[in-house]
Structure 1
């Protein structure tokens, strides 16, 4: 159980608020809260329910007693619901501003594309989203430096420890692990079978290449039989089969999943991670590129860079080769979406501590190209920036994505699959980490004489543990 100091950090302890909260109460109620803090160090105030996702997130609380001006700031958090059906806002480290700051002045000082959201949040009261909170703090700094010093004085940022400095290695570890988890989910295998920790710890930082990083698992990948009908003389296919990389094989019933981590650079030098999922049974191939929203909760957005332009150019070249292949008119060859290239935009990548997917949104390459031309992602100085909320509901969730791939509704057709081998080869030679996952069926044992028959299990006893009645004739 967390200690009082962990739940309500004091002076000098790490405390970085993720969101803000505008609390509007009467002056006499504020006097009661101040009295509670004087005796108990904390106080509580019932407020309207907030989204469950914002519970347990630290909030910098702005307190207003006349409906017009902020007079106090404090640290706050919501752990539990109140008995009244509302939420219980816990408040501590209450500070009075030297002079009240009018809310209308803060609204006038707001700047940026999201200023209207922050202004609307100030009108409504309650929680301020990460972006709205950031804009309010910036506005406060412009209009009243003294008030900003008091508010920012409640924020305590510790210098990160040395093992957290190599962010690129930690990021690529998290990418690799999420790609492997996604592959397991698609194959219908429990992600609990993957023992890799969600985050890379300091002891594992040196020269780490992959989440399967031990020499005992280096292997040639010829035994996974990707696209078995390829000509043995194909030079690209020979290159793919001859490589030795860390790998794991997972089995579940008649399904075998082989995950190969195809990159020899250490994690610090890799330029992100791609997932290539090959479903040999359905003849489908799907490519996923990972991109990270900046900020703990994605509030700083994703900014396209020249690296993305080069990656899209390679995908366009592969798409041009796919377009030349005859259409697969079989039922198994039917796809909802013929575009096999996807982006996964991740949030909370470096703070994710659960065994499942990293939170994120999947979009196709075609949709990204439309979005890149849309005014909604226009940033400052003709730049582009994508926020999680910009996507709205127009994205594929991780659970929906894994289901669509598992059932063969998206990806290449069987006729197109072999065309992608040169693309796979180029990807394996690049600087990005490649998680190559191949799902296949386990062939029946030829020595088993009953392997081709359907067997019927004996019926379960109606009353387990009870001896069957013997009837004598």
Structure 2
């Protein structure tokens, strides 16, 4: 499905540039460690800065001689689109332009400029761009808009454009359930053993939680642009599942959402390590800032008051208590003599600061730890309420990286019959319209 006009406008608004590379330059880039997924080039400052950070790059591959022409034909494409990831000075006279999310598109820039653009007011600009052999330059907004429209008319080009759009629509801060889903996918990939490069996922579909984009109400994952760096796409369906494979292992990630995001109160990540028979579930909660009082500071006999640092609190309301009660019904180790676990429980809470950058790690508490705090009276809040005090925890929690290692190794999580029982809880969660992101690790069948 082509992008909507407002989606195209989002892409164009961030700027468009044109990069020319010879076939040999493209082949040299393809032979590097990261290949064509992400690469950088240097240009004089005034050239590099004609392209805007975050903008769309039209990458044109050209042949310098007949031999190059044959190799270009073998490539099967001569035009790609990518994103200008960054522009930064690297030397006194030069800046580096980093490009990523590069994918080929159907058609060539020459055809688009010389045949596709028929508007009289744009023809002179199109001819000038076609004749320009500058390695890197900006494209005017009107001309760039028309080029993107022409690319969007070809359905095969939609995945490449959607991947650029996904980055523009990605949540940057923890302000909603959408950002929590984004973090859940990242955590799932890390728990699966993905490299830093594969710690994010970009998939098609407007408002799709799988990737860096929000969930759509029906959670339909479209059949284009499903992409994880370092993984091969195998299959997908409209239930919100995408399957990837890498080095003999398989990763399934599901999203399920049947309610508008604004009505969601939390996001769950479900991770099943099949090789260890261990299941772990993480529920996300927002920490809200609470203004502190004043403290008195004495310096050299002088005293003065200053505001205390704000506290970060998670209020435990009736809904929270109900969720914990449902977890506790399933939080039982039915096979204590089974595989070894440091902690045989399934349930963890991930606490993130509202409005914090999504790159922050947050903290994790097990359900058992939460109950321990409650028994000791450390969750008591004002007016008879309950709260989790981030400061009072004093570092007594897990960070994301440590938690991921425990999950990957199978040192935490359920075992045996408990795992089977919790799969029933997953189905119940889905049926209750809870937003769920699940990552399942399993070996690819030998046949």
Q: TM-score, normalised by structure 1?
A: 0.46
Q: Which has the higher strand share?
A: 2
Q: Which has the larger radius of gyration?
A: 1
Q: TM-score, normalised by structure 2?
A: 0.48
